[in-house]
Structures are given as C-alpha cells and as structure tokens.
Chain A
Amino acid sequence: MLHKFSISAVKSKLAAQSFMALVAAVTASFTTTAMAADFPNKPISVIVPYGAGGGTDTTGRFLAKEAEKYLPQPIAIINRSGGSGTVGTAEAAAAKADGYTLYFGASDALVTSPHSLNVPYTVDNFRGIVGVSYAPSSIAVRTDSPWETLEDFLAEAGTDTVVDRGHSGVGGVHHTLMKSLFAESGVKFRDVPFQGGSQAIAAIRGGHVDLIGGTPGSMVPSIEAGETRLLAVSSEERLDSFPDVPTFKEKGLDLVATVEWYLLAPKETPDDVIAVLEDAFLKAANSDEFKAFTVTRKQESLVRNGEEIMAKLNRDWDFFGSIINP
C-alpha cells in the first residue's frame, strides 16, 4: 500500500517536472540567455564510475544530498561500474554537455588509466566544478620490520636486500608512487599487486610482503593494533591525523601523489551553467556536515573550485604519465 502510494507520488512529481521542462523549453526558444537563468529545470544526474556502497559512491551521495539544499532540483547518483572506473568515466566524457549529467570520481580512473589502457577519454574531455577531498598515499611496514624510519629503508639501496612490495593494484596511484619511489632510491624489489587495498593490508599484517603502499586512513586499524607502522606519506605537508609521520618531500624525495575526489562536467558545458553548479556544490562541500563526513571516510577535506581542480588534474596527468610511460 505504502509502495503504491509512493509510486503515484513520484509519478505526479515527474508529470509536474516534465510540464515544467516543456515550459522551460518553450521559454528557452525565445531567449538565448535563458538557459542559465532557469538552470536547472529538471533533475541532475551524477555518474559515479564505481559500484554502490564504496568510498567514492557514499561520498558522492552525501555531496549530492548537501547540494540539493542549494538547487531547486533533485540530484540522482547513477552507478556505472566496470573496468576499474573507466566505463563510467568514458560515458560521462561523452555525455551531453548541458549540465544535467555530471561526474563524481576518484582520480585513478582519470589521471592514471588513460596512460596504460586504450580508453576513449583524457582529462581534456572534462571541466572542473569542485574538488572536495583527497587522500595521500603512504608506505607501511610491520612493526617487527628492521626499518624504523624512511632512512633505514633507503639505506637498503645498493645492498642485496630484495623488498617484497605489495599494493592495491596495477596502474593505480599507490602502485605509481611505489614505482617512482623504488626507481629513485634504487632498492631492489619484487612487485606483488593485490586486488584492492584491504587485501594488501591483510598481506602485510600476515607477514606475506615486506612493505605496502596505500592510503594512511585504511591503515588505521592495523596501526592502532600495533601491527604496522607508517614510514612516510606522499602529501605536500604532514597530516593532522599522523603528525609524527614525515612526508617524502621533507626527506628530500620529490614524491607528491594523492588520490583526489572531484565533481566534473563534460568539457563543452556552458560557463553560466557551470557557475550555477559551482556555487551550489562549493556551498555543499564547505558545509560542516560534509567535511565531517569526509573525515569518517578517511579522506582529508580540501575544497577547491573548478579552475583549481583542473590545474591540479592537468599537473597530475603529466606527473602520472611521466611515471607510467617514462
């Protein structure tokens, strides 16, 4: 009964919306600048290129929920998973650039995958709306490891020690960071990719590998259990949550690599439409509720506008490109 009722409510809402859309379309045909003035006049879809329930999906949903407070239309999250995020990203890149189809993703699919796989998009297919959060990469060892600090580890360069290094998967941010760390330091290694960060963490805790790369947030349970320790993080500055862990940068290694979460639109989306979206989503991303939520997802809050996020994306594109295809 309840079910029927809600369906009919949705139907009437849809009917009202399509009527509004018709009115809007008629009005739009009279004036060319009407588009921004009445944008948005129908629900906005946000493509998330991963399955429902994961970190990116829940963050996207929370952001959408907050942004709905500042927009007259509902925002629907659409999960287009597959191909490590490439399927949904490709679809978003090819979507109609009218501001009604947006893209919320983590940087892996956009700045690393196109360098190694044949996918029909690059960073140039998108323009930024807002960047909401980031997580650096980091390297961790077991607490019984002989390497107490990053220097201890770097001292293995030139010795015969072969390090079994684990990470969350080929071509991702953590793997890329590992590659450049071992290339710069000259430490010998065996590379053991796992399917996802949690498998890599299980492997280091069980002592099956010597060192892993992953987000510091995902290591918290094993650090608190006294089983692993972080040697260094790959952010620009030390993290509030790990004040004692040095960055690679301060130890003289030029390694700054982060996973970023951002909202993008197809490249040709008009400026005035972007302005409306940027305004609403910046407010949403800056809200206390959203910032508190990103902390629970083990992400660092960092709100940036469209231009800033595009500048960062282009830098990342070049950086990961130079490591993946040297």
Chain B
Amino acid sequence: MFDNIFFAIGIVSMWQNIMLIIIGTAIGMVFGSLPGLTVTLAVTLVLPFTFDMPPESGIVLLTGVYCAGTYAGSISAILINTPGTPSSAATAWDGYPLTQKGRSFEALSVALHASVLGGLISAIALIFFAPMLAKTALAFGPPERFALTFFGLTIIARVSGQSLSKGFVAALFGLLIATVGVDPLVGVPRFSFNTFYLYGGIGMIEVFIGIFAIAEIFNQIGKRATPRKIAKDGSKKQSIRWSDIVPHYWTIVKSSVIGIVVGVIPGTGGSIASFIAYDEAKRASKEPELFGNGSLEGIAASESANNGVTAATLIPTLTLGIPGNTVAAIFLGALLIHGLTPGPQLFVEQGGLMYTIMLSFILANIVMYFQGRFALKWFDRIVNIPDAILLPIILIMCLIGAYTISNSLNSVMIALIFGCVGYAMIKFEYPTAPMVIALILGGMVEESMRQSLILSDGSAMIFVTRPIALLFFTMTVFVTFSPFVLKFWKQHKARGVKH
C-alpha cells in the first residue's frame, strides 16, 4: 500500500501534472460558473486531449475539471440565481437572497470553503473505504432506491415556505413535468404532444435556466420602476477567512458524509445529496427561519454535500465498473480507452494509478481553493454591474447555454416557457424549491417504485421487508411527523401545567 502511495505522490507532484491540475481546475471553474455550460460538457471536451497522454496525466486533468466544475456551479447560483449544475439548486435558495442583501462575498466564501472541505473529506473516504462502500452500493436495489428518493421527496414539505398548500401545488407540477417523455417501463410516450422532441422528457438544465435565471430577469425588469436594492457597500467582508466557516464545521462534516453515502449509490447523483444535507442542516439549525432567506449554513450544507459526492461517485465506477453519474461514466470511458478495466482487481493490479486518482482529488481541491480565492474577487464584481447591462448579458448567456445542451432551438423554447412559468410563480408566490426537487427526483421515484412492484408482483410489502428500505421509510416518517408530534406534546403539556 505504501509503495503505491509513494508512487502516487511522485506522479502527482510532477510539474507537468501539477500544471494539468491547474489548467483543469481553471477550465472547470469557467464551465461550472456559466449557466448552461455543465461540468459534464467540460469533462467531455477535455476528454479527447487525454487520449494521447499517459493514463495518470489524463486522470489528473479530468479530476481537476470535475472538482472545480462541481464547485463553480455555486458561483452562478449565488450571484445570478442560476445553478450551474442541478446539485447547486439548493445553494441558490440561500445564496441569491444573500446577494440581494449585499452579502454575496460572504456567501461565495462559505461556498468555496464548504466545497473544498467536502471534496477533501470525499477524497479521503475514497482512499480508505472504497472497497467497503462499493458493497453498500450493490445493496441498493429498486426498493431501497425508492425508499431513498421518497425520503428526498418529503423534504418538499419543509422547503415550501409560507404556504404548505402552495408548496404541494408546485411539487405536483414538478412531478407532472417529470412524467413527460417515453415511459421508462413500457416505452409508450406520455404528454409528448405528438412531438418526438419530448420523447426524451423535459431537460432539467433547460428548466433551471428558465425557472431560476430567466424568471428572475423578468422579475427584475418588472421592478424597473423601483431601482434594485443591492446595497453596494453592504458587502463588508472582502477577504476570505477560515474563521468564517468555523461555526459551520459540524454541518460541513455531516453534509459531506451524506454526500459520500449518496454518491456511492449509482444513479442518484449530487442533487439529492445536497437536498438531504440542506434539510438536515435546517432541522438541526438554531436559526431554521433563515433557511431560504439567506442562511450561510444552508450554503455550507448544500455545497459540502455536492462536493462530497465528487470522489465518492468514483467508488462504484472504479471498483464495480458502474458509473455513479454522467461524469463518472466519462471517467470510465477514459480508463477503458487506456485499456484499464475497472473492478476490484484494478486496486491490486493498478494500485499506483488508483492512489494517483485519489491524491489528484486532494490536490485538485487544494488548487481549487487558491484559484477560488483569486477568482472570487472578480466574480463578486458581477453584482456591481448596472442592471441595464448585466440583465441582457445574463439573458443571452442563458439562451446560449440552453442551446448548447442539445444544439437545438427546442431547448431554448423550453427555457423561455419555463421562464414565463417561473415568473408567474414569483408573482403568485408559489415556491420554486418544491417544484425543482419534484422534477429532479420524480423520474427516479417513479421508476424505482414501479420496478419494485414488478418484482413483488404488486405487493407493497417489499418496501418494509427489506431492512435498508425499512430504515429509510422509518426516517421518512420520523422526520415528517416529529415536528407535529413535538408541537402537540408541548401544547398538551403547557395546557396540563395551566390546569
């Protein structure tokens, strides 16, 4: 083991590879922070350059792009209310309100620290627990996956804000959108309006661009009469200090672990991890009322969780050959091109390469930290640009971003339609968070539930007879009903005291 670690240290500290990490994180940062340009796209575009490199260097470069791209999604989420990746959606809920209050720099700073710590914890988990966690991944069959995603859905009840009923309406709308496309189990088109463009469903990134960014632009235009109230000198803190993050250490550790566990399960992805971590942070917080209105703790939870996913998602990829998400699938492709077949024996035969991957995750996060410190000062100035100049630029970037998703105007149409929907939701005070959660999780919930019921011949008992599934359902019931029970009990006791 130590031979391999020293070999890996030797590889990672070669100047060429350090240069590659620096270049990779810079590319990832640019792609992640622009709305519509995804980390998947960045990794894909970099991939052909790795064909002619030694496998270690190729992996080092891809790792840099992946880590920084995942982190940088938070920059556009905080500054212009557009998550660069689905997993930064929860970051936007608190990040953008902070920007509106003139505290964007604090938000960016917490996001950077939380991301780096989440990424480092995840890399360490990859080093020490990879083979063990891989077995956990296989234990997740359809019933377990349903229990986990259903647990994710119940978060809707707690992010609905003022009105629970409006939250449910928004969530049901999200679920409805998630059903568009060819049915995953019988192959019949649903709600496709006879256009085969919709056979593949409504793309999530297009919806995000519409519902977050374009709707917000419409909203700002609508408020032209009253100038935007971003206190320009309100952002008092202009330096990034570790001390900012100290109150959130426990949140970050907890969220990173959530990110690792969810990341290991193939096909779930970072977004559900950041929702669960956000929800847990809110539950445990002393100031839960701040969540959704600008809570630094919320950003810390969401960002450390989605970066906690980064290295963890490579665990099933490397040990089982089962990619945890689209980026991991591209990593898998890169390994195959170099003639490396993933599997438990990869750790035995290619131990040096495995530790190189792990160490490059650590190095990428460190490089990302310093690049972030440098870049954030410049990114933060975006909020000082006058609306009349900034809003058209963002709108154009959003439309270009939507176009690049599938290189077609159809995606641009979807983004614009959801821009209008999002604007209506702002005007009629429907929360967008429940809709986004429902849209992201809806497909997974439906598919895993139906797969489970096929396996059990239609009996719902399959969800309570399997231990992991039962555990998640118990948690769901506890987390959903405990606040009501506690409230009732307190009232009851108070009444008892009165008598």
Contacts and interface: CB of A to CB of B under 8 A. Distances in A.
Interface of A: 51-55, 57-58, 61, 78-84, 86-87, 90, 116-120, 164, 169-171, 190-195, 198-199, 201-203, 205-209, 218, 220-222, 224-225, 293, 296-298
B112 interface: no
A119 B196 contact: yes
Contacts of B322: 198-199, 201-202, 205
Given A53-B326, A79-B406, A83-B200, A221 B321 contact: yes
Nearest to A79: B407
Nearest to A193: B185
Interface stretch (B117-125, B132-140, B243-251, B390-398): B132-140
Contact of B182 (A117, A198, A222): A117
B336 A225 contact: no
A52 B142 CA distance: 28
Chain B: interface secondary structure? Answer: helix
B320 A52 contact: no
Contacts of B189: 117-118
A82 B199 contact: yes
A170 B323 CA distance: 21
Given A118-B194, A190-B455, A53 B329 contact: yes
Interface in B185-226: 185-187, 189, 194, 196-200, 203
17 contacts: A51-B326, A58-B47, A83-B199, A87-B197, A117-B187, A164-B455, A190-B455, A192-B455, A195-B447, A198-B321, A206-B140, A207-B141, A208-B142, A209-B455, A222-B343, A297-B336, A297-B337
Nearest to B140: A206
Nearest to A196: B267
Interface stretch (B37-45, B85-93, B432-440): B37-45
Interface in B446-492: 447, 451, 454-455, 457
A52 B41 contact: yes
A169 B457 CA distance: 20
Given A82-B203, A206-B140, 12 more contacts: A51-B326, A53-B40, A54-B329, A58-B47, A58-B333, A170-B182, A170-B183, A194-B451, A195-B267, A218-B321, A222-B343, A296-B337
B345 interface: yes
Contact of A80 (B183, B407, B455): B407
Contacts of B336: 296-298
Contacts of B43: 53
Contacts of B196: 83, 86-87, 90, 117-120
Interface in B149-178: none
Contacts of B330: 53
A146 B194 CA distance: 46
Contact of A225 (B345, B410, B451): B345
Contacts of B186: 170
B234 interface: no
B451 A78 contact: no
Contacts of B352: none
B344 interface: yes
Contact of B455 (A52, A55, A119, A208): A208
Contacts of A82: 197, 199-200, 203, 406, 408, 410
A297 B47 CA distance: 14
Contacts of B40: 51, 53
Interface in B73-127: none
Contacts of A202: 137-138, 140, 266-267, 316, 320, 322
A175 to B, nearest CB: 8
Given A79-B406, A80-B406, A205 B320 contact: yes
B371 interface: no
A192 B451 contact: yes
Contacts of A51: 40, 44, 326
A194 B452 CA distance: 11
B457 A86 contact: no
B341 A203 contact: no
A192 B142 contact: yes
B343 to A, nearest CB: 4
A147 B453 CA distance: 25
Contacts of B410: 82
B341 A84 contact: no
B227 interface: no
B351 interface: no
A203 B182 contact: no
Interface string B35-78: 00000110111011000000000000000000000000000000
Contacts of B326: 51, 53
Given A83-B182, A87-B408, A224 B345 contact: yes
A220 B341 contact: yes
Nearest to A175: B187
Contacts of A207: 138, 141
B44 A53 contact: yes
Contact of A171 (B45, B187, B454): B187
Contact of B343 (A80, A83, A224): A224
Contacts of B137: 202
B200 A191 contact: no
B267 A199 contact: yes
B406 A81 contact: yes
Contacts of B10: none
B185 A225 contact: no
Contact of B333 (A55, A90, A169, A206): A55
B477 to A, nearest CB: 24
B414 to A, nearest CB: 11
B199 A86 contact: yes
Contacts of A190: 454-455, 457
A96 to B, nearest CB: 17
A206 B141 CA distance: 7
A170 B182 CA distance: 9
Nearest to A295: B339
B342 interface: yes
A116 B47 contact: no
Chain B CB within 10 Å, residue with most, of A119, A190, A191, A206: A206
A52 B44 contact: yes
B184 A169 contact: yes
A208 B141 contact: yes
Nearest to A62: B51
Given A170-B184, A205-B320, A192 B454 contact: yes
A53 B447 CA distance: 25
B200 A198 contact: no
Contacts of A222: 320-321, 343
